[in-house]
Structure 1
Amino acid sequence: MEKNKRIEAVRKEAEGYFQRGEFFCSEAVVHTINEFLGRPFQEDVVKLASAFPIGLGKSGCLCGAVSGGSMALGMAYGRKHGEAMNEKMFPVSAALHDHIKEIYKSTCCRVLVKGYEFTSPERKAHCVQITGEVAAWIAEKLLEDPDVSEKIEAAQA
């Protein structure tokens, strides 16, 4: 499948999980990227992302999609005990943060949803869009990395 179509498919998958109420933002990103990578982690890895929605457990701080996105990047660039830190981990995670901040002017949940009634369909649509943007951005970066894209191709073959 063409790169742009794959990225859009990831975007729509993450958005769909959130829109349908199957997952919140962070969970949708983690689940979608785990699937995209060929399930390197068991399905219940999404449980690790369950504390992040609505800005870290409803505190309104860091956007849950960004938190989940950083976790998802760890699926590709993270380490196990005793391993050296992957040199790509910090720059790519910081770049995700900067990408979302550039588009939405913040990565703080309460700022991102300011002006929306929390239970409104407009607020949910806004958050669904951010979730999709995070997942799509991650998919694009992973496909651009030859080391990771090889694994994606093998997993999806």
Structure 2
Amino acid sequence: MEKSALIESVRRKAEGYFVRGEFFCSEAVVHTINELLGWPFPEDVVKMASAFPIGLGKSGCLCGAVSGGAMALGMAYGRKHGESMNEKMFQISAALHDHIKGIYKSTCCRVLVKGYEFTSPERKAHCVQITGEVAAWIAERLLEDPAIAQKINMAVNS
């Protein structure tokens, strides 16, 4: 699959999970990126993302999509006990933060949804868009990393 088509497919999948009510923002990103990577973690890993929606357990703080995105980056660049920290982890996580802040002027959930009635379809559409943006951005970065892109291509073509 062509890179741009694959990235757009990731965006649509993450958005679709949220739109259909199958997952909230953080869960949709984690599930979609786990799938993109060829399921290196059991599907249950999405449970770890379940505390992050609506700004960390409905507290309105860090955007759930961004939180889920950071968790998804950990799937690719994280470490196990006793391993050294991969420097890409910090760089790419900060870049995700900066990317979303550059587009939406904040990564704080309550700021991102200010002016929307929480239960409105407009607020949900806005959050769906952010979720898709996070998933697509991560997919693009992972596809730029030759070692990870190779794994993705094997997973996509199997």
Distance 1:130 1:156 in 2: 24
Unaligned runs of 5+ in 1: none
Quote the residue 2:97 is aligned against.
Answer: 97
Aligned AA (1:77): Y
For each residue in 1:13-40, what CA deviation from the matched residue of structure 2 results, as whole angstroms up to 9, or x when unmatched? Answer: 0000000000000000000000000000
Aligned AA (1:137): W
TM-align CA RMSD:
0.5
TM-score by length of 1: 0.99
Quote the residue 1:147 is aligned against.
Answer: 147
For each residue in 1:47-88, what CA deviation from the matched residue of structure 2 results, as whole angstroms up to 9, or x when unmatched? Answer: 000000000000000000000000000000000000000110
Distance 2:66 2:122 in 1: 20
Unaligned runs of 5+ in 2: none
Shift of 1:100: 0.1
Distance 2:74 2:86 in 1: 10
Aligned length: 157
TM-score by length of 2: 0.98
Q: Between the two proteins, what is the percent identity of the paired residues? A: 84
Quote the residue 1:81 is aligned against.
Answer: 81
What secondary structure sits across from 1:117 in the alignment? coil
What secondary structure sits across from 2:87 in the alignment? coil
Shift of 1:156: 2.2
Distance 1:98 1:148 in 2: 22
Distance 2:21 2:71 in 1: 20
Aligned AA (1:59): S
Q: After the TM superposition, which residues 7-86 of structure 1 pair with which residues of structure 2 at under 5 Å, given as runs?
A: 7-86=7-86
Shift of 1:151: 1.1
What secondary structure sits across from 1:60 in the alignment? coil
Quote the residue 1:118 is aligned against.
Answer: 118
Moved over 4 A (4+): none
